[in-house]
Amino acid sequence: MTQENVDVLILGSGPAGYTAAVYASRANLNPVLYQGGQPGGQLTITNDVENFPGYPEGVNGPEMMMDFQNQAQRFGTDVRTGLATQVDFSSYPYKVVIDGQHEITAKSVIISTGASAKWLGLPSEDKYNGRGVSACAVCDGFFYRGQDVAVVGAGDTACEEATYLSKLCNKVYMLVRRDEMRASKIMQARVMNTKNIEVFWDTETDEILGDENGVNAVRIKNKKNGETREIPVTGFFVAIGHKPNSDIFKGYLDMDEAGYLLTKPDSTATNIEGVFAAGDIQDKNYRQAVTAAGTGCMAALEAERYLAEKELA
């Protein structure tokens, strides 16, 4: 196994990772960034981004992430392909194995591995992803103003998405697998008291339908009687949760029951000094590109401060 020593190692290449890289490289920390399993993060499966500052006409998601990457590389960030497959934070400096074959010893680690949306597993989800299928109403709801859309899910997130979309869309159909929701009572009440939200109980998504222009309907199936019907919609929002990409950090870093890394208040610091977490890996509330970028900035500044104090000690 090959070995290498670095000052700052950044894992992940979404807005958090690249922003951390910009700040770290401008501070002459010579960061090395590994892009992970999805280079560019979730924005690479988003067609249009209209809510990130600095893009008045909007921007294509993959194009935006290339802008992020080019900016980080302009200041000297060493951007590499590769996935962290193993870590050892039990002794300093910390060890991270990339693709099972390259060991990096790092004085500071910034984790920005993100969280992946959970999907239903339908082939049509992939087919129409970015063309009517989305996992983020706040990101994409604006494109469906005055249209009919569907939301699948039964938790607080699904209720929040449906309520948000109800303010933009003509009609919101909420598809719930059981005869009750998992959401909190207050969130359920908001849904039930919103006139343009219609809930289908005991309902599964059978197929997402569309053509070359994108989604135009969803075929649903009643679990009790097996009946199917098609609902005309132009947007289909999957809100069944996210899975933080944190498995390799178990046993080292504190995390909540869902696997989101826990950071100290007003900080990106984890329970291990010199290891910082930024972006969706530690944020289950906002999950926006701009908030991820903000925590990436924080992580780099904190890493710079940590390394400076380490040298003076």
Structural domains present in the chain: 2-116+242-312 (3.50.50.60), 119-238 (3.50.50.60)
- Read off the tokens for 221: 């199936």
- HSE of 118 in the Cβ direction (CA atoms, 13 Å)? 11
Q: What's the pLDDT score for residue 4?
A: 96
Q: Which of 139, 159, 169, 297 does the annotation list as catalytic?
A: 139
Q: What's the pLDDT score for residue 50?
A: 86
Q: What's the pLDDT score for residue 84?
A: 97
Q: Which of 7, 48, 78, 136 does the annotation list as catalytic?
A: 136
Mean confidence (pLDDT) of the chain: 94
Q: What's the rounded mean pLDDT across residues 254-274?
A: 97
pLDDT in tens, 181-197: 999 999 999 999 999 99
* Residue 297 annotated among the catalytic residues of the structure: no
* Residue 139 annotated among the catalytic residues of the structure: yes
Q: What's the rounded mean pLDDT across residues 281-285?
A: 93
Query: Model pTM?
Result: 0.84
Between CA 193 and CA 195 the distance in angstroms is 6
The model's confidence at residue 263, banded by pLDDT at 50, 70 and 90, is very high
Q: Which of 140, 148, 280, 283 does the annotation list as catalytic?
A: 140
pLDDT in tens, 52-88: 999 999 998 889 999 999 999 999 999 999 999 999 9
Q: What's the pLDDT score for residue 267?
A: 98
- HSE of 280 in the Cβ direction (CA atoms, 13 Å)? 21
- Read off the tokens for 211: 């053509």
